[in-house]
Structure 1
């Protein structure tokens, strides 16, 4: 089999790039290690930048997002028993975000690939990249007892942190930067009405919390927990009781609780791999970078990679212009590191660190006070939250 672009990874990054390229007449194949049901069972964040939403519409995948997604013009920060609102619309010149689950984004992309007859292979085992530093790369995978070879012109690695793509870059070329945080987020999904129509980020002496939502009847809540905790350590009653302790009284009093339909703990990590290109291989999304979920930059950072790579490939195939491909890594990483900075800042501002000093507590309090009293500081927060330009 021969295609122009072989994409490793059937998550939102790989599917979005495949859809965009297909619409421009560029032949792709997507190889996904797991089944479609497995991919769609992943519960992820769902705060979409306006730039990401625009890219979904360009990919002809935005109809349900625009119909069912929750447009948010602001969010709240709870601290010291009070609630302050961050006005996205006011401080960004009219921009907003859309709350729409990543699972739903992926579902829409799958349906779009089906409509166009896109080639998406699931349960592709033992995916291996070959000759990626040459002008004739190819990829092999195993389907049952058969080894399938795909000859291609470019390979895109969108197969996540644990995927094979990044590991295919030689160790003497790859540089990795990582920070592992000493806590995780315990998340609960429940069929309950959200406690607030907008997200509430909570800074509390007992630890961080977040009140989020998927729809008006589906809520997503998180609390900061030690890395040693396991989901089974937390009954539903224990989770709701702890969440209420961290919320201001006015919010806790209207919280509707119910049985959890999903419960998991996500460790927090910051990670960047450089370069994002090696030969004919291009990395995108979690294969190259991960951020803590505090600033909602993960999926949005992946979308910016896809934006740059999509336009670079279009210029190559339409104009014979390789400037975009040659500059992809540098351009993508410039935005990636800005997302890293913002996510680190939000995490530092809102979480309680176990090894903190009294000095750190005072500095955190001062940072919060400055943010809420300074128009300039607020604009910087909002500029990053709604999404920096691609």
Structure 2
């Protein structure tokens, strides 16, 4: 068996694992990443692209911001279409100057991959049989297979950035973790196309036909979503059917100027709210989807992963700088405070903007639930204080100071 040694072993080469690795390397903290699939497969995942200011600042701190700053689109607000009536949420005005940036997760991942390769940092793609050992000890290690050979990776800490289905969370004994979950009775059918976006800002649409979202990746590439039943199959949705249904859910003026075209990618994603507590076990730390999932209605998934990275990065720098690894035991407590803010906001937005077909929702009759949500959305869209609450959550809660 080949033996490797590092300070931080990172499982998963998605954007959170790559960003953490880049930040640590900038501070002279050695790290090795182990990834189950190929780099090309990672880049093939189509994901969201709305970045909070905190995420943008982290990318700049990592020194991987050149293309993001050049090609990313700063958004100062977004629209909510409420049964055809459009309300603008001017987040810059409502939050004293804060904005978000539209820059695709695929592009962030590509930039981080290229930076890691240029810095000659070690990554083992297409690894199998990855396992975490002795996580509760001061000398954890990871074993994996790569290129037909076996490896043992000795380290100080293991960081699980390997997603909801990865090995990291499953390494924590079931009796040592509490998992909270809410599975929604619908999914999002997403379509990516090389067409100009229908609007310069995102449009969240509540309609009698179900939810829709008009988003973008660039000035020439658009991303659109439709709420669909969980039993629908992608094959049932031709491009023509998708565009026809989207036009029915967009406000009339926007539907009239929608540019359609062949899809680059179509997929249906189920929606769930999920949190694992705690987010650490000994010297194993969970980051991003390994610890929590949010419905995409508030654009919080990638951004919550970034706030996990920021917290763990600061704690690791403090631990190695002061020679006191005990400070890492604060990670779960700090990270979860922000995670629950994001979970609540995403759940709230999902409840207000989607149509629920269930007879009962959240323990109440559907008709009653719909009245509650309609009343709540009416208040938040028609009062400045309500809009300010939405804007404050949308741009993201500030990162906590670990000192």
> Could you say whether these structures have the same fold, taking a TM-score greater than 0.5 normalized by the shorter chain as the test?
yes
Structure 2 residue 150 is the aligned partner of structure 1 residue 141:
no
Deviation at 1:373, TM superposition (A): 1.9
Matched with 2:363 is none
Judge conservation of contact 1:75–1:199 (CA < 8 Å) in 2. yes
Aligned-CA RMSD value: 0.9
Matched with 1:70 is 73
Structure 2 residue 350 is the aligned partner of structure 1 residue 341:
no
Judge conservation of contact 1:43–1:102 (CA < 8 Å) in 2. yes
Matched with 1:372 is 381
Judge conservation of contact 1:312–1:323 (CA < 8 Å) in 2. no
In 2: Cα distance, 1:143 partner to 1:149 partner: 11
Name the SS of the counterpart of 2:183 in structure 1.
Answer: strand
Judge conservation of contact 2:185–2:358 (CA < 8 Å) in 1. no
In 1: Cα distance, 2:389 partner to 2:348 partner: 12
* 1:244-255 paired onto structure 2 within 5 Å: 244-255=247-258
Deviation at 1:323, TM superposition (A): 5.6
In 2: Cα distance, 1:19 partner to 1:103 partner: 17
In 1: Cα distance, 2:327 partner to 2:190 partner: 39
Number of residue equivalences = 390
In 2: Cα distance, 1:98 partner to 1:317 partner: 32
In 1: Cα distance, 2:373 partner to 2:353 partner: 8
Structure 2 residue 115 is the aligned partner of structure 1 residue 122:
no
Deviation at 1:19, TM superposition (A): 0.3
Judge conservation of contact 2:53–2:395 (CA < 8 Å) in 1. yes
Judge conservation of contact 2:136–2:281 (CA < 8 Å) in 1. yes
Q: Extract unaligned runs of 5+ from structure 2.
A: 360-365
In 1: Cα distance, 2:367 partner to 2:282 partner: 49
Deviation at 1:144, TM superposition (A): 3.5
Poorly superposed stretches of 4+, deviation over 6 Å:
none
Matched with 1:358 is 367
Deviation at 1:47, TM superposition (A): 0.3
Judge conservation of contact 2:23–2:62 (CA < 8 Å) in 1. yes
* 1:1-390 paired onto structure 2 within 5 Å: 1-322=4-325, 324-355=327-358, 357-390=366-399
Deviation at 1:360, TM superposition (A): 1.9
TM-score by length of structure 2 reads: 0.96
Deviation at 1:362, TM superposition (A): 1.7
Deviation at 1:387, TM superposition (A): 1.0
Judge conservation of contact 1:231–1:263 (CA < 8 Å) in 2. yes
In 2: Cα distance, 1:275 partner to 1:14 partner: 19
Deviation at 1:320, TM superposition (A): 2.1
Name the SS of the counterpart of 2:275 in structure 1.
Answer: strand
In 1: Cα distance, 2:49 partner to 2:89 partner: 18
Name the SS of the counterpart of 2:198 in structure 1.
Answer: coil
Deviation at 1:322, TM superposition (A): 4.0
TM-score by length of structure 1 reads: 0.99
Deviation at 1:310, TM superposition (A): 0.3
Q: 1:377–1:323: structure 2 CA closer, same or farther, 3 Å change rule?
A: farther
Judge conservation of contact 2:36–2:128 (CA < 8 Å) in 1. yes
Name the SS of the counterpart of 2:10 in structure 1.
Answer: strand
Judge conservation of contact 2:124–2:146 (CA < 8 Å) in 1. no
Judge conservation of contact 1:295–1:342 (CA < 8 Å) in 2. yes
In 2: Cα distance, 1:129 partner to 1:27 partner: 18
In 1: Cα distance, 2:84 partner to 2:26 partner: 51
Name the SS of the counterpart of 2:217 in structure 1.
Answer: strand
Deviation at 1:378, TM superposition (A): 1.2
In 2: Cα distance, 1:136 partner to 1:257 partner: 56
In 2: Cα distance, 1:42 partner to 1:145 partner: 26
Q: Extract unaligned runs of 5+ from structure 1.
A: none
